[in-house]
Chain A
């Protein structure tokens, strides 16, 4: 690893740690900090509401600079070896938000009605960090546009950072089984 150029090592390290966050679900203790989970749940539910209500700029402000949003095609996939549906940094998230408002994004206008339901929130402090926590939750999304309804269920894995102004989103991973089977495009997902 040491003779790798810096930019490559940095990229691979990010990808490894995203995969580690998914693997963490298998070893995380069932007993967790209930107070922390309740605090985190409020943030995740708030995030869902902002997205449902199209408050994308406010939502974007929740994100940390070192943002990563990953949506793999399959739970077993690796961002260094498999194409994904989404592998965004802060800048590409900004572009997604821009497109949400773009009236020539034909696939997104007229606007969709969307409701996200969040449940089963668990959260654990990250041992290597004094500010960051890892959380997982189940999500069901109902999406209606031009008379067609899409329902998508999945598991979210968030990394959140405690700041003086409240929680920031550092990472979000969405594992949605229906994606591997093939489904209508998810150009609207956030």
Chain B
């Protein structure tokens, strides 16, 4: 799968500055120009509280960041066979991520092209076609309109294309990203150096083969989605916010990675462009991730079982059971923590639903995957609640309108090393990752971004054919005049 997944992508043969949204090939840039406003809100070392609290800004985020920017949609392993689908979100839009008969991945809008009914209500399934329950229109897995009962009640049926709307989707090694941008930068350019870290994450699994479990743990918190983003690369909070988790580790006589003194811990964070960043904790744990694991349910049994299989169990196998201690954050909605893929889903300016997907290693003894589930439940129980508590308390604190600014200056001119491309390396106390993604937020939010809905057979519609004829005769007339 590559950049050319949408073979029928209409944008390549059409003019770009089309603003009449009634046209089937409309390219529309919505909302106000915010250049001056974001200049005011995002400074070098401080961020305005409204970035987290303002519902109007939130609505624009749903268009420009969760719509017109590459977002993570899902993983190909969630839809292994033709007809398999999972219901996903791109901002507020429901997306049916489906595998077609040809084995391609599509991101169909879960919105009937007749009057708007969602086509599927289930979170996942396998379908031969998608039939709308309201008036029975049926669409094939590619989004083509397949049947329309009582078609003769339309006088000009094919004037407007009724094929299902789609987003542009591109995969990188199984990770599917999608966007509605009319003219997005290539996914490769968007990922930039983050792609190497993503590759490393995938390659850590034997045979580079991973499988994402379809059912995520879904938990919500009453605060802005960017709280999760601020936290994802915040190395120093672990010592304080997760004090309870660390004490629990001490009780079990395990020195959890989080409990080490932040002043002397050699972890490093790197900003990676386009808001992405990574925190590499490995320098702080010479004995490997498994050495930091507390006793867990079934641990002794599964350890004994692995040893009973005989031979030397390589350290990589043990380490597969826990995370790789590299936290990769791909803006705006893909966070790698431990063996989980965390997908923040913004609900409103002050509510977020976090989706925790568990990744399984396919080519590895069963014990490893069984252990992964129990490892995963550990931090969900004893760590995440304390993170959420912090997010909600920050959101409450930000209700003080007179305290307008949130400080994110830590590390700036005090330990951060900035390279020739402007990317920063900092120790775990640095807030460079926050400053970095905020600059990307500012770039994306500043101006309306042209978006378009992809649709099969747009060029076949009578409307488009008439447009083409008109354009051709105009060109011919112009030639005659000469």
Give the B-binding residues of A (Cβ under 8 A): 4-8, 10-11, 14, 73-74, 77, 79-89, 91-92, 95-96, 98-99, 102, 104-108, 148, 179-185, 187-188
Closest to B244 in A: A105
Given contacts A82-B373, A99-B382, A182-B218, 5 further A-B contacts (CB under 8 A): A11-B370, A84-B377, A106-B244, A106-B389, A183-B220
Which of A6, A79, A183 touches B305 (beta carbons < 8 Å)?
A: A6
Which of chain A's residues have a CB closer than 8 A to the CB of B374? 87
Q: How far is the CA of A108 from the CA of B213 in the complex (A)?
A: 30
Asked if A7 and B300 make an inter-chain contact with CB atoms under 8 angstroms apart, the answer reads yes
Indicate if the CB atoms of B373 and A87 lie closer than 8 Å.
Answer: yes
Do residues A92 and B215 form an inter-chain contact, with CB atoms below 8 A?
no
B219, A182: Cβ atoms under 8 Å?
yes
Tell me which residues across on chain A come within 8 A of B305, comparing CB atoms: 4-8, 11
Structural contact, A107 and B366, CB atoms closer than 8 A = no
Q: Are B358 and A83 in contact, with the CB atoms below 8 A?
A: yes
Q: Assess whether B55 is interfacial by the CB under 8 Å rule.
A: no
Shortest distance from the beta carbon of A190 to any chain B beta carbon, whole Å: 11
In this complex, how many residues of chain B approach chain A with their Cβ under 8 Å: the count is 49
Q: Which of B150-158, B290-298, B399-407 lies at the binding interface?
A: B290-298
| Cα distance A135–B188 in the bound complex, in angstroms | 56
Interface class of chain B by DSSP: helix
Bound: A11/B301 CA distance, A: 7
Select one of A14, A84, A105, A184 contacting B373, CB under 8 A: A84
Tell me if B261 counts as interface (CB < 8 A to partner A). Answer: no
Report the separation of the CA atoms of residues A187 and B297 in the bound assembly, to the nearest whole angstrom.
18
Instruction: Give Cα A182 to B296, complex, Å.
Output: 25
Closest 10 CB pairs of A and B: A187-B385, A182-B218, A7-B305, A107-B385, A7-B301, A5-B305, A5-B308, A89-B297, A105-B244, A104-B243
Contacts of B380 in A (CB 8 A): 85
Bound form: Cα–Cα A179–B295 in Å: 26
The CA of A89 and the CA of B366, in the complex, are separated in Å by: 20
A6-B308, A7-B308, A95-B251 known; A104+B218 contact, CB < 8 A: no
* Neighbour of B297 across the interface among A77, A92, A180, CB < 8 A: A92
For the complex, give the distance between the alpha carbons of A11 and B297 in Å. 10
Which of B297, B298, B382 is most buried by chain A, counting CB atoms within 10 A of its CB?
Answer: B297
For residue B213, which residues in chain A have a CB less than 8 angstroms away from its CB?
81-83
Instruction: Check B297–A91 contact: CB distance below 8 A.
Output: yes
A-B pairs with beta carbons under 8 Å apart, 26 shown: A4-B305, A5-B309, A7-B300, A7-B303, A7-B304, A8-B305, A73-B217, A79-B373, A80-B370, A82-B215, A84-B373, A85-B217, A87-B297, A91-B297, A92-B378, A95-B382, A99-B244, A99-B248, A102-B248, A105-B385, A106-B241, A106-B386, A148-B222, A182-B219, A183-B220, A187-B386
Given A8-B367, A108-B385, CB of A184 within 8 Å of CB of B219: yes
Measured between alpha carbons, how far is A183 from B377 in the docked complex, in Å? 16
A185 near B251: Cβ-Cβ < 8 Å: no
- Given A82-B215, A102-B247, A184-B220, A7-B382 contact (CB < 8 Å): no
Chain A nearest CB: distance from B162 CB in Å?
A: 32
CB neighbours (8 Å) of A83 from chain B are 213, 215, 217, 356, 358, 373, 376-377
Query: Which one of A8, A10, A104, A183 contacts B219 once the chains associate, using CB atoms below 8 Å?
Result: A183
- Specify the chain A residue showing the minimal Cβ separation from B347: A182
User: How distant is the Cα of A96 from the Cα of B297 in the complex, in angstroms?
Assistant: 13
Q: For A81, list chain B residues within 8 Å (CB).
A: 213
Give, as a whole number of angstroms, the nearest-CB distance from B101 to chain A: 27
Say if the beta carbon of B302 comes within 8 Å of chain A. Answer: yes
